[in-house]
């Protein structure tokens, strides 16, 4: 039962942290040496080069211009200044719409906060239930915050009608805003799709589960099938090859190349001594050899293997997967093929829109239908156990991970561990570490589950992982905080409670946890978001790489880690705030301003990051919005059920029939929105396709679509094959550019591993090193 | 706690009833005068004419050939003899697949019954729990039936593992059979669609929600839109007119014509006196007039109104609804258009397969999207209240419908009611009557709800009504019988019980209700089905009509009421038996033979009826199968949950984790089947369409599809308009035949009201009258 004072202290502390982060950021970002950490997006776009303004050597590393420090908060208006259309152009629709989620939070909660402060706070405050209870029972503690909450309204008071009316008002406002936002995003998506230039995925359909045929190869079967069934429209196709082993070898060579670079750089700095390395495990023991020669030999072996494997993949029919990318003469025909069923057996010749080339998750293209169904079952069961039973392995690890365990397993560490100080630190931290590590790797586990489930594009993988992360958070963060006990204990107790008891249990606990969640919002939401802008990890890694590996401008480009929004972790976090805001809007109005600060701060910070830092790996044209919408709706329904439960314990059970209409209407509203707006995210209207086709035909009557599409969908390892044998050997490849000369928007992963064609903008760059 | 003896008596009684019905049927069907009641399908097909074999006048009415009575059960092998392909040809795929539901019951329950009698009955029988309990408590009654059920196994006995293994075996067998059946039905459907001749609905798409345009009429808008967006494929279209008022007027004239026929017949039989009628309410009071003149005048007025209204509908643009039937040059193009989205706004230009012309429910074609969404909400809420609160109005009616109430409302009945005998009858029956009437009109209410909801075809209306009827039965017949109390009281108690308590409550009650359900099966299933074949109501009505209305052969054709399967009431009944069979398979194996008798008897009876009697109104090509499959799955899952609940009360709670896998696997199996087979019922594969198109093009290169399609989709009231003005006036019209000369399979409603073109087979008929 925190008082205003306690909350104030916590708020002050967190504001201090947040401000410290922001100041550190403001300072660090002005240093030229950090330029590539804080503005990588501009480098990737070729619009910024290494700073050259200051003449002195020091000036290249440290900003000596005191005036720039005065305007240290300038990044905020800068971030807000770029208009949305330009933002879409600059960072893609995904990013622009992602920001709208934060904006949506402000749109929903600013009026809700105003209304609830104007109406509910006075209604709650002008009671004395808590004071009376305290008079009766001196052990009872309550705070000023509780005086502002619904707890202060006496049992069975007619004042509760205010809360019910407010619940209606908030529901209608939320739904109104959601509908408007859904309509806007759908329009933005359609407009984006309509206005974007010619892209291979507009003409292409992915066909999977091509049935095996004794007399025909996959390629022939695909060609014959589409020539027969889409005779006027079929253009060309590319079969999918299983090049997973090849890709692995190329990655291996890449990593060996990094080591070679490292040793070469080391040697060039200290020419007196050839660097040596041990050949054993992790370079810790084994024979000492000349490192440069060793690495060179290794890379040569790998290159040979790679070219062998490449030949094998090209010629061996076993490497051809029963899937292909089929291109059509018009967008209309591709839209038709993607949205219709081809044959009697709906598990063969499955067609769907091809994801854009960089969005494809190649490994999953060849999974047959039955296997997919089994995988879906397995992941659902696995996710259920992960959500409700993850504490079991964590507890086991905790019990193993004690001092004795470590000494038994790794006896050579014994002398270090036995130092009293280190021992006590380990004993204090170890138990928590297992849980912490689990929570850190959880998003990775969820991504792995989504991959196992067999989705075909990275965007779908992330969306699925986001949904699961939200569900996990709902049970293991939200519910566990509201009601004591692990998720499994709760599941067990919910199974033993009646359907009308569960909302009561949660509803009663909700007002009591307000202060906890206020602190949570400040730590996770305020300080956490401010920490995001500082980019501590990429900052450190960049400077490490810069020191050990970087020889050329290209290497430096590779050392940049712009990162991406991380939809699979970011969106569930926002959704948790929506949930908290909706649940507390009626119950504890004082909660709302804290949420508002989060949404506003996060909006500014992420807008800045999206403009200057993040580089999206793919563009799904806001395909995630139906999920975002659905999760807010589910939070709204949950908040209504909880309010119903709370009301029935407050001597106001007669309000239940009135409140039950709210979830019914909300679910109906959701279904309405689904029917009205979701198709824009799933299907591609024929009228749009036809308009685009007609326009193109009149503009470029002699366009050769076939040559444009011929190599659009080849596996990344085959792209730029010719350059590859020389360039890749030099640790370089040019994946951002397609063979036909059209340049795709560069993406994170490509850029991280292989930078752009340097010829394009290396002329206006200077090397920092010499 | 019935003993074997009690059950035997009940069974004997019901067998007696059933046999009596069957004998009565066998006798009545042999009488020539009833020929049209028991073989209307053959008349409608034109393959049978009024019997002419016996020379004597009596021979026309009564069968005097004693030999035919000897073979009175011959109809059974006759019914079974027709092979399935011929049956499909004769009665349509819907009917043939409907019969497969009964067969499916046999396929599932014959092995289940054998296995459970071989394994479970001995396991249950060789215990003495019930005997022991009775020894301890002499009030406890138990019967031999209970000795065969799971109740006889002692608390916590390891023998329960047998039941668990059996539950797995039954689940796997059921799923295996379901999957096989789904595959067979899907193949049958696809084969049926592939092999059927040219039909207008193969080329036609229904487009709804055409947006209003100031500059264009609906017809122009449709033409322009499809010319632009399907330029190579669009052929022609027909707009939908709102002719509901016209249809009403025509029906009114039809009914007046019937009265005219009646009076004319009366006059012809007794020429001494012109018939008179009173003009007031129901002909009970008012001025007396010459009936024939009065009716003739009335019909003339109506005919005038009809032709005025017909003109108005044709010319008034307000009668044009924003919907149309768009026909394409090929089936491929129609398949494409039906399965794709046309414009950005998914609520405009909605396209879907046109139902076949006689399946269309014309009144609902013009409902806009938002209104549909609201109607869906309203019907869902209404259905919820209907299911759980229908007892409230019934109780109110019961309290009003007492002697005093009737006397108050209709004082003139007082002298009759006050007769002691009548009074006691009324007092005894009245309370039950309100409920009985409600249950009789329930299918009609459900059909009205489905109509209000806005479905577009009669087949969809029936499917939706069937689903709702099943849900209603589940709560108000099954659950109410298992647990005491109305559905609402149960809902209330379930809300107050925990999720793991509910299956227990039901599970414990299940074995105790076995004898009740055995009786239910015998009354509703055995005697009820045997009563169905007797067709008492159509028999009486036919003879009444025959006496009062029939003048010509055509009138006699109209007097036939072949009826149809009545999917909306028949299928939910079968589903109830599936539910009972699956629930009792493990718990009370003795139940299964009773179910088997039902399935076998019903199969034979309905096969006979389908061959000889029913005349389906439409052909949906077994579109109902996914619903049938889904409801059996839900019954299976329910039975598993109930078994889990029962086991946990039997001291076998450790089996819960093993049993919980069953519903998970079953639901997964359902999803798998849905993905694998359901598309065959929803979509139309392009390959199929293309094959059919190609075949047709090579066979009939000069086919003029346009003229074939031009008038296929006009409102029934406009069909045969030319003949109408003369023929309809004579109480006759020719709807079975389309303008273009192609004859559709005649349908019940058409046939009931308007018989076939008489010229086709009237020559081999004789009139009974002169």
Q: In angstroms, rounded to a whole number, what is the distance separating the alpha carbons of residues B163 and A548?
A: 69
Residues facing A602 on adjacent strands:
none
Judged by average pLDDT, the poorest of A30-44, B538-552, B571-585, B751-765 is B751-765
CA dihedral A365, A368, A370, A375 (to 10 degrees): -30
Among A639-643, A714-718, B225-229, B295-299, the range of highest mean pLDDT: A639-643
A540, part of any domain: yes
Please give the pLDDT value at position B746: 39
With a cut of 60, say whether residue B99 has pLDDT above it.
Answer: yes
Residue B493 touches chain A, beta carbons under 8 Å: no
Please compute the mean of the pLDDT values over residues B219-225 and round it to a whole number.
87
With a cut of 50, say whether residue A561 has pLDDT above it.
Answer: yes
Please compute the mean of the pLDDT values over residues B700-711 and round it to a whole number.
77
Residue A384 touches chain B, beta carbons under 8 Å: no
pLDDT tens digits, one per residue of B67-85: 666 666 777 787 788 888 8
Q: In angstroms, rounded to a whole number, what is the distance separating the alpha carbons of residues B7 and B519?
A: 8
Please compute the mean of the pLDDT values over residues B258-279 and round it to a whole number.
76
Residues B443 and B505 grouped into a single domain: yes
> A683 to chain B: nearest residue by CA?
B341
As a whole number, the mean pLDDT across chain A is 79
Q: In angstroms, rounded to a whole number, what is the distance separating the alpha carbons of residues B732 and B754?
A: 6
Residues B549 and B631 grouped into a single domain: yes
Q: In angstroms, rounded to a whole number, what is the distance separating the alpha carbons of residues A598 and A529?
A: 8
Please compute the mean of the pLDDT values over residues A11-17 and round it to a whole number.
82
Please compute the mean of the pLDDT values over residues A472-498 and round it to a whole number.
80
Q: In angstroms, rounded to a whole number, what is the distance separating the alpha carbons of residues B403 and B414?
A: 9
User: Two tokens at B449?
Assistant: 């709800």
> A693 to chain B: nearest residue by CA?
B229
Contact B148, B125 (CB under 8 A): yes
Q: In angstroms, rounded to a whole number, what is the distance separating the alpha carbons of residues B497 and A499?
A: 7
Q: In angstroms, rounded to a whole number, what is the distance separating the alpha carbons of residues A744 and A736?
A: 6
Residue B335 touches chain A, beta carbons under 8 Å: yes
Chain B interface, mutation test: which of A330, A662, A685, A692, most B Cβ atoms within 10 Å? A685
Contact A594, A14 (CB under 8 A): no
Please report which residue ranges of B390-419 form alpha helices under DSSP H. Answer: 391-400, 403-409, 414-417
A320, part of any domain: no
For residues A304-335, one letter each, b for 16 or more C-beta atoms within 10 angstroms of the residue's C-beta and e for the rest, the string is ebbeebbeebeeeeebbbbbbbbbbbbbbbbb
Half-sphere exposure at residue B624, Cβ-oriented, CA atoms within 13 angstroms: 32
Verify whether the Cβ–Cβ distance B498 to A500 is below 8 Å: no
With a cut of 80, say whether residue B570 has pLDDT above it.
Answer: yes
With a cut of 90, say whether residue B370 has pLDDT above it.
Answer: no
pLDDT tens digits, one per residue of A289-334: 777 888 888 888 888 888 888 888 777 777 788 888 888 888 888 8
Q: In angstroms, rounded to a whole number, what is the distance separating the alpha carbons of residues A294 and A299?
A: 9
A303, part of any domain: yes
Q: In angstroms, rounded to a whole number, what is the distance separating the alpha carbons of residues A561 and A752?
A: 6
With a cut of 50, say whether residue B322 has pLDDT above it.
Answer: yes
Quick one: how far is CA A685 from the chain centroid?
28
Q: In angstroms, rounded to a whole number, what is the distance separating the alpha carbons of residues A646 and B706?
A: 66
Q: In angstroms, rounded to a whole number, what is the distance separating the alpha carbons of residues B164 and B647?
A: 9
Please compute the mean of the pLDDT values over residues B430-455 and round it to a whole number.
84
Q: In angstroms, rounded to a whole number, what is the distance separating the alpha carbons of residues B626 and B682?
A: 10
Contact A375, A383 (CB under 8 A): no
Residue of A500, A668, A679 with shortest CB distance to B377: A668
Residue A653 touches chain B, beta carbons under 8 Å: no
With a cut of 50, say whether residue A537 has pLDDT above it.
Answer: yes
Q: Which of B545, B547, B557 is nearest to B769 (CA)?
A: B547
Contact A475, A390 (CB under 8 A): no
ipTM entry: 0.79
Percentage, residues of chain A above pLDDT 90: 17
Residues A677 and A710 grouped into a single domain: no
Verify whether the Cβ–Cβ distance A341 to B683 is below 8 Å: yes
Residue B384 touches chain A, beta carbons under 8 Å: no
As a whole number, the mean pLDDT across chain B is 79
- Residue B490 CB neighbours (<10 A): 22
pLDDT tens digits, one per residue of B668-685: 999 999 988 888 888 888
Return residues 668-707 of A near B (CB < 8 Å): 668, 671-672, 675-680, 683-688, 690
Residues facing A328 on adjacent strands:
A234
User: Two tokens at B553?
Assistant: 């052969």
B433, part of any domain: yes
Residue A327 main-chain phi, psi, to 5 deg: -105, 145
User: Two tokens at A511?
Assistant: 């007002």
Verify whether the Cβ–Cβ distance A501 to B498 is below 8 Å: yes
Residues A306 and A355 grouped into a single domain: no
Contact B735, B720 (CB under 8 A): yes
Please give the pLDDT value at position A750: 38
Among A88-97, A280-289, B704-713, the range of highest mean pLDDT: A88-97
Q: Which of B314, B615, B568 is nearest to B455 (CA)?
A: B568
Please give the pLDDT value at position B730: 37
Please give the pLDDT value at position B285: 66
Instruction: Write down the residue that tokens 């009931």 correspond to.
Output: B752
Q: In angstroms, rounded to a whole number, what is the distance separating the alpha carbons of residues A237 and A326?
A: 4
Residues A175 and A286 grouped into a single domain: no
Residues A578 and A668 grouped into a single domain: yes
A695, part of any domain: no
Please give the pLDDT value at position A431: 66
Please give the pLDDT value at position A472: 92
Verify whether the Cβ–Cβ distance A342 to B494 is below 8 Å: no
Judged by average pLDDT, the poorest of A155-164, A357-366, A549-558, B315-324 is A549-558
Please compute the mean of the pLDDT values over residues B565-580 and round it to a whole number.
90
Residues A418 and A527 grouped into a single domain: yes
Q: Which of B756, B709, B715, B714 is nearest to B732 (CA)?
A: B756
Angle, alpha carbons A494-A495-A498 (nearest 5°): 75
Please compute the mean of the pLDDT values over residues B47-58 and round it to a whole number.
58
- Residue A547 CB neighbours (<10 A): 10
> B338 to chain A: nearest residue by CA?
A340
Residues B33 and B73 grouped into a single domain: yes
Place A98 in a pLDDT band, splitting at 50, 70 and 90: very high
Chain B interface, mutation test: which of A205, A333, A341, A689, most B Cβ atoms within 10 Å? A341
Task: Give SS3 for A518.
Answer: helix
Place B625 in a pLDDT band, splitting at 50, 70 and 90: very high
Place A449 in a pLDDT band, splitting at 50, 70 and 90: very high
Please give the pLDDT value at position A629: 95
With a cut of 60, say whether residue A769 has pLDDT above it.
Answer: no
Q: Which of B35, B22, B36, B33 is nearest to B75 (CA)?
A: B22
With a cut of 90, say whether residue B663 has pLDDT above it.
Answer: yes
Judged by average pLDDT, the poorest of A200-204, A744-748, B376-380, B418-422 is A744-748
Verify whether the Cβ–Cβ distance A668 to B346 is below 8 Å: no
Residues B177 and B219 grouped into a single domain: no
Verify whether the Cβ–Cβ distance A344 to B495 is below 8 Å: no
- The interaxial angle of helices B420-453 and B391-400, nearest 10 deg, is 150
Please give the pLDDT value at position B173: 95
Query: What is the DSSP pairing of strand A350-353 with strand A204-208?
Result: antiparallel
Residues A307 and A340 grouped into a single domain: no
Residue A657 touches chain B, beta carbons under 8 Å: no
Please give the pLDDT value at position B138: 67
Please compute the mean of the pLDDT values over residues A449-455 and round it to a whole number.
90
B691, part of any domain: no
Cα dihedral sign, B163-B166-B170-B176? positive
The domain of B393 spans 4-195+372-682
User: Two tokens at B32?
Assistant: 């020539």
Please compute the mean of the pLDDT values over residues B745-752 and round it to a whole number.
38
Q: In angstroms, rounded to a whole number, what is the distance separating the alpha carbons of residues A88 and B718?
A: 55
With a cut of 80, say whether residue B454 has pLDDT above it.
Answer: yes
B696, part of any domain: no
Please give the pLDDT value at position A62: 66
A687, part of any domain: no
Q: Which of B569, B579, B399, B549 is nearest to B481 (CA)?
A: B579
pLDDT tens digits, one per residue of A46-58: 777 665 554 556 6
Q: Give chain A's domain count.
A: 3
Residue of B346, B370, B664 with shortest CB distance to A680: B346
Query: What is the DSSP pairing of strand A320-328 with strand A234-241?
Result: antiparallel
Contact A81, A609 (CB under 8 A): no
Last residue of a domain, one of B621, B653, B682: B682
Residue of A495, A675, A690 with shortest CB distance to B499: A495
Task: Give SS3 for A698.
Answer: helix
Task: Give SS3 for A693.
Answer: helix
Residues B471 and B417 grouped into a single domain: yes
> B491 to chain A: nearest residue by CA?
A499
pLDDT tens digits, one per residue of A323-381: 888 888 888 888 888 888 888 888 888 888 888 888 888 878 877 788 888 999 999 99
Percentage, residues of chain B above pLDDT 70: 84
pTM of this prediction?
Answer: 0.82
Residues B306 and B268 grouped into a single domain: yes
Please compute the mean of the pLDDT values over residues B612-617 and round it to a whole number.
82
With a cut of 90, say whether residue B154 has pLDDT above it.
Answer: no
> In chain A, how long is the greatest CA-to-CA distance?
91
User: Two tokens at B361?
Assistant: 């429910």
Please give the pLDDT value at position A590: 87
With a cut of 60, say whether residue A742 has pLDDT above it.
Answer: no
User: Two tokens at A561?
Assistant: 């880690």
Q: In angstroms, rounded to a whole number, what is the distance separating the alpha carbons of residues A654 and A164?
A: 11
Q: In angstroms, rounded to a whole number, what is the distance separating the alpha carbons of residues B643 and B583?
A: 8
Among A29-38, A177-186, B478-487, the range of highest mean pLDDT: A177-186
Q: How close B54 gets to chain A, by Cα (Å)?
A: 54
Please give the pLDDT value at position B141: 62
Q: How close B364 gets to chain A, by Cα (Å)?
A: 19
Contact A597, A18 (CB under 8 A): no
Instruction: Write down the residue that tokens 């419908």 correspond to.
Output: B401
Judged by average pLDDT, the poorest of A253-257, B296-300, B345-349, B558-562 is B558-562
């Amino acid at each position: 039962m925190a008082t205003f004072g306690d909350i104030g202290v916590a708020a002050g502390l967190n504001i201090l942290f947040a401000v410290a982060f922001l100041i550190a950021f403001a300072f660090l970002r002005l240093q030229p040496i950090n330029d590539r950490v804080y503005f990588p997006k501009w480098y990737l776009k070729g619009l910024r080069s290494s700073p050259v303004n200051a003449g002195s050597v020091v000036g290249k590393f440290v900003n000596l211009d005191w005036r720039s420090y005065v305007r240290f908060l300038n990044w905020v208006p800068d971030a807000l200044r770029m208009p949305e259309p330009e933002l879409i152009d600059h960072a893609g629709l995904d990013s622009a719409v992602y920001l709208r989620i934060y904006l949506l939070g402000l749109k929903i909660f600013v009026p809700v906060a105003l209304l609830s402060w104007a109406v509910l706070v006075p209604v709650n405050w002008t009671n004395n239930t808590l004071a009376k209870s305290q008079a009766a029972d001196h052990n009872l503690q309550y705070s000023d915050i509780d005086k502002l909450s619904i707890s202060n309204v006496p049992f069975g008071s007619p004042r509760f009608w205010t809360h019910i009316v407010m619940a209606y008002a908030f529901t209608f406002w939320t739904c109104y805003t959601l509908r408007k936002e859904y309509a806007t995003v759908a329009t933005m998506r359609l407009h984006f799709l309509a206005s974007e230039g010619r892209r291979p995925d507009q003409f292409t359909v992915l066909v999977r589960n091509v049935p095996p045929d004794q007399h025909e190869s996959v390629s022939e079967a695909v060609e014959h099938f589409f020539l027969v069934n889409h005779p006027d429209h079929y253009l060309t196709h590319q079969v999918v090859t299983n090049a997973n082993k090849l890709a692995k070898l190329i990655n291996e060579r890449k990593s060996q190349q990094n080591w070679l670079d490292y040793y070469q750089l080391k040697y060039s700095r200290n020419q007196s001594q050839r660097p040596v390395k041990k050949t054993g495990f992790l370079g810790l023991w084994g024979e000492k050899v000349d490192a440069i020669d060793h690495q060179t030999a290794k890379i040569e072996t790998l290159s040979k293997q790679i070219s062998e494997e490449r030949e094998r993949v090209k010629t061996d029919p076993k490497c051809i997967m029963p899937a292909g990318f089929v291109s059509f003469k018009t967008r209309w025909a591709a839209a038709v093929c993607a949205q219709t069923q081809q044959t009697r057996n709906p598990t063969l010749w499955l067609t769907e829109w091809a994801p854009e080339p960089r969005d494809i998750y190649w490994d999953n293209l060849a999974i047959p239908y039955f296997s997919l169904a089994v995988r879906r079952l397995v992941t659902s069961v696995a996710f259920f156990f992960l959500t409700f039973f993850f504490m079991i392995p964590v507890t086991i690890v905790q019990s193993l991970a004690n001092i004795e365990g470590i000494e038994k397993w790794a006896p050579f560490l014994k002398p270090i561990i036995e130092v009293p100080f280190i021992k006590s630190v380990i004993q204090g931290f170890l138990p928590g570490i297992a849980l912490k590590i689990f929570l850190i790797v959880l998003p990775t586990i969820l991504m792995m589950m989504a991959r196992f489930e067999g989705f075909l594009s990275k965007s779908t993988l992330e969306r699925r992982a986001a949904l699961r992360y939200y569900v996990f958070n709902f049970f293991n963060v939200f519910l566990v905080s509201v009601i004591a006990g692990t998720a499994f204990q709760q599941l067990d107790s919910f199974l033993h409670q009646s359907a009308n008891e569960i909302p009561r249990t949660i509803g009663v606990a909700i007002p009591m946890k307000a202060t906890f969640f206020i602190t949570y919002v400040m730590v996770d939401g305020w300080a956490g978001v401010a920490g995001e802008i500082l980019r501590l990890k990429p900052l450190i890694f960049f400077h490490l790489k810069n020191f050990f590996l970087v020889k050329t401008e290209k290497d430096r480009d590779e050392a940049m880690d712009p990162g991406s929004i991380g939809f699979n972790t970011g969106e569930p976090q926002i959704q948790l705030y929506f949930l908290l805001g909706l649940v507390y809007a009626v119950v504890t109005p004082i909660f709302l301003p804290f949420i508002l600060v989060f949404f506003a701060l996060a909006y500014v910070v992420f807008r800045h990051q999206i403009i200057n830092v993040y580089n999206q790996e793919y563009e799904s044209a806001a395909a995630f919005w139906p999920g975002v919408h659905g999760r807010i709706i589910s939070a709204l329904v949950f908040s209504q059920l909880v309010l119903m439960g709370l009301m029935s314990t407050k001597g106001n059970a007669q309000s239940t029939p009135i409140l039950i209409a709210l979830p019914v209407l909300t679910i109906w509203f959701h279904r309405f929105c689904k029917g009205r707006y979701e198709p824009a995210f799933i299907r591609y209207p024929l009228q749009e396709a036809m308009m685009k086709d007609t326009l193109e035909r009149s503009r470029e009557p002699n366009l050769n679509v076939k040559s444009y599409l011929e190599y659009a969908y080849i596996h990344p390892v085959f792209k730029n094959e010719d350059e590859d044998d020389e360039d890749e050997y030099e640790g370089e490849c040019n994946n951002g550019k397609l063979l036909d000369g059209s340049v795709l928007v560069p993406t994170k992963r490509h850029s991280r591993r292989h930078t752009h064609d340097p010829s394009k903008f290396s002329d206006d760059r200077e090397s920092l090193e010499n």
